[in-house]
Amino acid sequence: EIYNEQVKDLLEDKSSASLLNNKKMDIKMREDGTGVYVPGLTEVPVSDAEEVLRLLSVGSKNRSVGVTMMNEHSSRSHLVMMISCVNHNISKDTSFTSKISFIDLAGSERVSKSCAEGDRLKEASYINKSLSALGDVIASLASARTNHVPFRNSKLTYLLSDSLGNECKTMLFVNISPSVIHAHESLCSLMFAFRARNVNLSSSSASLSNVKKLREVADLAKKQQQKMGDEMSTQSQAHCREKDELQREIASLRKELQGKDDLISNLKSAPVKCQPPPPGVAPPAAKPMRQHNPNATEDLGQQLIALRETNKSLTERVRTLREDKAKLQKEAAKKEQELKEMAEKYRRGSSL
């Protein structure tokens, strides 16, 4: 029940009744944005209508009632009973849950006729306030000029937010008195029913289609994210392999270049050793002096220049690959931010 804007569990075990007043319950929005729930509320598994009626009887006995000048057993709270039905499709291995909510609203009353005082007056104030908030919600749903529905103005409307829109069907029964002395209350009830009758929940099919579109977009975004992640992983692996090959090639070229530099240094610094012939042996005939070939040194210089140019181009290639990798990481972060924004938009659309 919702008593004085407080949620109370009517199926609470009698043994823990002393903890009932200390146990504060609040209404929370589900993380996936599919509806609201009350953490810690008693849930009882049922299998037939008799068990449901038995629990309804237990809850009705625990409901807050009081005596006024207009009713000896006046309900001082709004009673809410929710039945969740889970459907399992064995062949497709899928399941979905539907919820049926039965709400017994406390009737609005005029203090001048009920003569409410003390606690009864405080209860009447909260009852009229929550019913007024329900009237504002119905007026917003019936109006095509506003996109905001004030569900959070009271605990009653917040708890019924997922029963007054999206994928739901709603029926409203209004009890009125045929007595002439209660004509004003009957007229107010009929006007309330008239406003509620103008609410066309079928118009929510547009929002429902938007929700479906958002879900499709979210699924497509997830697939694209997965595909992009696979492509980035493949490209990253290819870049890593190419980078490793380039590094090995650079190391080989540097090693070859270092060997040639060492060879040139050795040739330049090696002294010419001349040993005298052994005794009794005529010295060899003098050979003509070998002329220095400047082309060989020039060829080595050209090879060194070519190797340095190759090393420079490979280094530039590595730098380009690193820049491409950084660009891919930025694009991935941007796509991830877009997916988060789409998920947030989807969650807000589902909550509406």
Residues 269-297 have pLDDT tens digits of 655 555 566 666 666 665 555 555 556 56
Average pLDDT over residues 97-103: 86
Name every residue whose Cβ is closer than 8 Å to that of residue 188 and which is 6 or more positions away in sequence.
Answer: 108
Q: How many CB atoms lie within 10 A of CB 13?
A: 10
For the CA atoms of 48, 51, 53, 59, what is the dihedral angle to 10 degrees? -140
For the CA atoms of 107, 9, 24, 31, what is the dihedral angle to 10 degrees? -100
DSSP codes, 301-344: HHHHHHHHHHHHHHHHHHHHHHHHHHHHHHHHHHHHHHHHHHHH
How much is the pLDDT for 237?
78
How much is the pLDDT for 331?
79
CA 244 – CA 317 distance, rounded (Å): 12
Task: For residue 98, give the amino acid letter.
Answer: S
Is the model more confident about 199 or about 349? 199
Cα 193–Cα 103–Cα 112 angle in degrees, nearest 5 = 60
How much is the pLDDT for 50?
93
Whether 17 shows a pLDDT value over 60: the answer reads no
pLDDT digits (tens, 9 = 90+) for 204-214: 444 555 556 66
CA 298 – CA 146 distance, rounded (Å): 86
> Which segments of 18-173 does DSSP mark as H helices, in order?
49-61, 111-114, 119-142, 155-159
81, β-bridge pairs: 102
Average pLDDT over residues 149-173: 83
Q: Which of 6-10, 46-50, 338-342 bottoms out in mean pLDDT, i.e. has the lowest?
A: 338-342
How much is the pLDDT for 204?
46
* Enclosing H/E stretch for 73: none
Q: Which of 80-84, 88-92, 142-146, 281-285 bottoms out in mean pLDDT, i.e. has the lowest?
A: 281-285
